[in-house]
């Protein structure tokens, strides 16, 4: 079938015309892998991307891993990618994924050091795996009692987008669902102690991870949170809803005003959630948050399957 990929690793001819033109290589391809220099200040993060429309898959694959490196005060420099596709995937779909990922890598100066591109039996939808590396730009200082927790960005935008997609309303709102630009800005801001991007489990999930690692507590009101347009019309717990593009920041109280002004100058809203306290746990609207079950809207991930490949001449 013309334009449909065969089983296993793609041929060098397919790779050269549908992947290589779109990705910024670190250096010429080598057999089996690549050699790069690492230091004890190298930050490494790995993330999968699956279950979103194919035009957004490469975008999220890049930003998931790159944002994690940035949250550890690293500047993303290199990436390893695996693009894994179902049988009968069209080569044109591979090109869309590679271009989307490559465009983001070029934008942030990240080079692709190694990877794999193949189709496999057993996969139902495309899956992209990324490992990002970067050099840490500053020493990390641990948060402590009295430091202020900030929520940078608007909550629920990703949930609104997913809901619209489920109703057949397609748009490119996903292009703004990344915290990487503001994280790279906050890295260099005095007083920032910790950064953690919001991913699975939403804001509550992210805060539980932060507080668990610090063994401190936080109490705040959901009314103090900035929500994305139309988010509050959703019949969901928005603090558990998908909100990629927002980030938790813990800062020295003396720096909070400067941080808020910096974010505002860049068009990013900031919610002040409150100070860290002794003890452990998260309290929202007076109720302790213990379990973090997934909500209905999370089930939309993985539901955007392409129709079976048809003839697709190059």
The per-residue pLDDT for range 217-272, each reduced to its tens digit, is: 999 999 999 999 999 999 889 999 889 999 999 999 999 999 999 999 999 999 99
pLDDT number for residue 304: 53
Task: Report the candidate in 84, 78, 70, 182 with the shortest Cα–Cα distance to residue 127.
Answer: 84
CATH number of the CATH domain containing 241: 3.90.650.10
**Which helix (DSSP H) or strand (DSSP E) does residue 74 occupy?**
strand 74-85
Residue 295: predicted pLDDT: 65
Q: How many CA atoms lie less than 13 Å away from 91 in the CB half-sphere?
A: 21
Contact yes or no for 156/225 (Cβ under 8 A)? no
Q: Which of 105, 136, 167 is the last residue of a domain?
A: 136
Dihedral over Cα of 242, 244, 246, 250: its sign:
positive
What is the residue range of 255's domain? 148-300
The answer to whether 185 and 267 have CB atoms below 8 angstroms apart is no
Q: Tell whether 132 and 245 lie within a shared domain.
A: no
CATH assignment at residue 41 = 3.30.1330.10
Task: Look up tokens 């496999």; give the residue.
Answer: 120
User: Is residue 142 situated within a structural domain?
Assistant: no
Return d(Cα 162, Cα 311) in angstroms, integer. 29
Q: Which residues of the chain have pLDDT under 50?
A: 1, 306-314
Question: 297 near 242, Cβ under 8 Å?
Answer: yes
Per-residue buried b or exposed e for 96-135, using 16+ beta carbons within 10 Å of the residue's own CB: bbbbbbbebbeebebbbbbbebebeeeeebbbbbbbbbbb
């Amino acid at each position: 079938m013309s334009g449909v990929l065969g089983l296993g690793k793609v041929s060098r001819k397919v790779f050269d015309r549908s992947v290589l033109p779109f990705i910024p290589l670190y250096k010429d391809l080598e057999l089996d892998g690549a050699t790069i220099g690492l230091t004890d200040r190298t930050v490494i993060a790995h993330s999968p991307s699956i279950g979103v429309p194919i035009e957004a898959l490469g975008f999220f694959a890049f930003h998931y891993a790159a944002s994690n490196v940035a949250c550890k005060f690293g500047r993303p420099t290199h990436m390893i990618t695996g693009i894994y596709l179902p049988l009968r995937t069209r080569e044109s779909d591979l090109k869309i994924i590679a271009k989307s990922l490559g465009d983001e890598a070029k934008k942030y100066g990240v080079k692709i050091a190694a990877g794999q591109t193949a189709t496999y039996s057993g996969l139902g939808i495309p899956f992209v795996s990324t490992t990002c590396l970067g050099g840490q730009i500053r020493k990390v200082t641990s948060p402590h009692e009295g430091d202020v927790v900030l929520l940078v960005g608007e909550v629920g935008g990703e949930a609104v987008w997913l809901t619209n997609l489920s109703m057949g309303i397609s748009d490119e709102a996903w292009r703004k669902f990344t915290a990487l630009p503001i994280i790279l800005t906050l890295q260099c801001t005095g007083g920032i102690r910790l950064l953690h991007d919001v991913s699975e489990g939403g804001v509550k999930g992210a805060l539980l991870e932060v507080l668990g690692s610090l063994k401190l507590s936080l109490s705040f009101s959901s009314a103090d949170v900035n929500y994305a347009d139309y988010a509050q019309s959703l019949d969901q717990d928005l603090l558990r809803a998908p909100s990629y593009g927002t980030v938790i920041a813990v800062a020295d109280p003396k720096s909070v005003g400067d941080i808020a002004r910096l974010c505002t100058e860049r068009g990013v809203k900031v919610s002040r959630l409150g100070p860290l306290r002794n003890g452990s746990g998260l309290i929202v609207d007076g109720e302790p948050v213990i379990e973090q079950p997934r909500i209905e809207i999370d089930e939309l991930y993985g539901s955007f399957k392409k129709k079976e490949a048809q003839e697709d001449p190059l």
